[in-house]
Chains A and B, each alone.
Chain A
Amino acid sequence: SAVISQKPSRDICQRGTSLTIQCQVDSQVTMMFWYRQQPGQSLTLIATANQGSEATYESGFVIDKFPISRPNLTFSTLTVSNMSPEDSSIYLCSVSSGRYYEQYFGPGTRLTVT
């Protein structure tokens, strides 16, 4: 299994500002995923990040709002830009376990935008 850490674990931010969330994996992985869980909602995939290429965004998510970096096989960042209260969510990164659709998740970053 993979051990995934995220920083920060939580933050409270002012609207209009940006926050960068870091995701570190203890092993090299090809694909990393970023999810969002809004209050009372399900986990929703934001984008898939491959090392060495542009992230692939799901419908409803755009690079200008959620830029992603993937500088190497163990690390990725997600930036939430120009935040509004609607961005208040838990953001999680995950990696594939290599078995079908099973994924390992990080502990999440709880973001509150005021």
Chain B
Amino acid sequence: DQQVKQNSPSLSVQEGRISILNCDYTNSMFDYFLWYKKYPAEGPTFLISISSIKDKNEDGRFTVFLNKSAKHLSLHIVPSQPGDSAVYFCAASAQHGANNLFFGTGTRLTVIP
């Protein structure tokens, strides 16, 4: 059973506009959430994370929002740039210190110049 879900396989956004990538999870024990970005022929690279004790974390153009009651998180990219075009994976972990990350299936973002 998929515990982390990204229901949008793809998203296209105009350069300069906001990109919003969504992620839902089912396990209420998840206490840490991460976003990874993946370019073709490369491994995923860490982008931004958030602890379950927070509802927002910001790093430059990237902001992650967490809504625990809805079991939902989102990644906002503002402004979107063509170099942001990649596959974005949402991931979650259920135990502090554990290494098992549960990944979503990814959303392919295309930023149109």
Complex Cα–Cα for A64 and B63 (A): 43
* Contact between B42 and A107, CB atoms less than 8 A apart: yes
Q: Within 8 Å CB of A107, what residues of B?
A: 41-43
Please give the number of chain A residues whose Cβ is less than 8 angstroms from any Cβ of chain B in the complex.
25
* Contact between B34 and A101, CB atoms less than 8 A apart: yes
* Chain B residue at minimum C-beta to C-beta distance from A48: B99
* Contact between B43 and A96, CB atoms less than 8 A apart: no
Q: Within 8 Å CB of B104, what residues of A?
A: 42
Which residues of A, 65-114, contact B by the 8 Å Cβ criterion?
A: 92, 94, 96-97, 100-108
User: Which one of B45, B99, B106 lies within 8 Å of A31 (CB-CB)?
Assistant: B99
* Contact between A40 and B100, CB atoms less than 8 A apart: no
- In the assembled complex, A58 has its CB within 8 A of some CB on chain B: yes
Known: A100-B49, A101-B34, A101-B99. A42 touches B2 (CB 8 A): yes
Please list 29 pairs of residues, one from A and one from B, whose beta carbons are closer than 8 Å in the complex, sorted by A's number: A4-B43, A9-B41, A40-B105, A42-B2, A42-B89, A42-B102, A42-B104, A43-B89, A43-B101, A45-B99, A45-B101, A48-B99, A100-B32, A100-B49, A101-B34, A101-B49, A101-B91, A101-B98, A101-B99, A102-B46, A103-B46, A103-B99, A104-B43, A104-B45, A105-B36, A105-B43, A107-B42, A108-B42, A108-B43
